[in-house]
């Protein structure tokens, strides 16, 4: 029984190690994930996941990241509470925003991560444009894009909050 358990643990460890052809990078907690639209703007404070990126091996590169809805911060505590509620993100049922890339492609002097974005229990394929600026021991991923909150059934269409939401991301990593 012990040998079987050890073999299963070893197999899982090897599968995990070799599931990334590019070595994962360590996320630095000084990330910025901000959003803005008519009527509201703010940031998400908690973000995690795995980023494996090599400019010379885009086929082996990937992003598997998640944003904690409960970490939303706007200018007003009441607005934060409302955003987490059933009428908007419904953080009790859908606590995370997830993005899992399917492929990463070169796009001029930048890149695009094409993959599934899951928000509020709805998954859509999108292309996230980004740049990567190298540093001595890692680098920083930066990007901005716009999503329509109605595509993910976040709040009611129209009203006091804009439908088009601009998202800006800056994520430092260490190799």
CATH number of the domain encompassing residue 108: 2.40.128.110
Query: Which structural domain, as residue segments, surrounds residue 79?
Result: 22-174
Using H for helix, E for strand and C for coil, what is the string for 85-103?
CCCCCCCCCCCEEEEEEEE
Residue 33 has pLDDT above 90, yes or no: yes
Number of structural domains the chain divides into = 1
Question: Tens digit of pLDDT for each residue in 76-130?
Answer: 999 999 999 999 999 999 999 999 999 999 999 999 999 999 999 999 999 999 9
Is 12 domain-assigned? Answer: no
Cβ neighbours, 10 Å, residue 125:
9
**Segment 128-138 mean pLDDT:** 94
pLDDT of residue 20: 53
pLDDT of residue 175: 86
Is 126 domain-assigned? Answer: yes
Is 170 domain-assigned? Answer: yes
**Segment 33-42 mean pLDDT:** 95
Burial tier of 61 (Cβ tally within 10 Å: 0-12, 13-18, 19+): buried
Is 9 domain-assigned? Answer: no
Question: Tens digit of pLDDT for each residue in 9-32?
Answer: 444 343 344 455 688 999 987 899
Question: Tens digit of pLDDT for each residue in 159-175?
Answer: 889 999 999 999 999 98
Is 151 domain-assigned? Answer: yes
Q: pLDDT band at 35, cuts 50/70/90?
A: very high
pLDDT of residue 13: 42
Is 7 domain-assigned? Answer: no
pLDDT of residue 7: 42
Task: Tell me the pTM.
Answer: 0.84
């Amino acid at each position: 029984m012990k040998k079987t358990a050890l073999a299963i643990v070893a197999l899982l460890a090897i599968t995990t190690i070799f599931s990334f052809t590019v070595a994962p990078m360590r996320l630095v907690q000084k990330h910025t994930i901000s959003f803005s639209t008519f009527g509201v703007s703010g940031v998400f404070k908690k973000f995690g996941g795995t980023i494996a990126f090599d400019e010379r091996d885009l086929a082996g590169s990937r992003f598997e990241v998640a944003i904690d809805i409960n970490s939303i911060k706007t200018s007003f505590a009441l607005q934060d509470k409302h955003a987490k509620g059933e009428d908007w993100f419904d953080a009790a049922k859908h606590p995370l925003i997830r993005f899992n890339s399917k492929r990463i492609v070169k796009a001029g002097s930048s890149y695009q991560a094409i993959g599934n974005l899951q928000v509020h229990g709805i998954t859509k394929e999108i292309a996230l444009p980004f740049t990567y600026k190298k540093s001595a021991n890692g680098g920083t991923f930066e990007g901005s894009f716009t999503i329509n909150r109605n595509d993910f059934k976040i709040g009611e269409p129209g009203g006091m909050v804009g439908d088009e939401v601009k998202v800006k991301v800056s994520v430092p990593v260490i190799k």
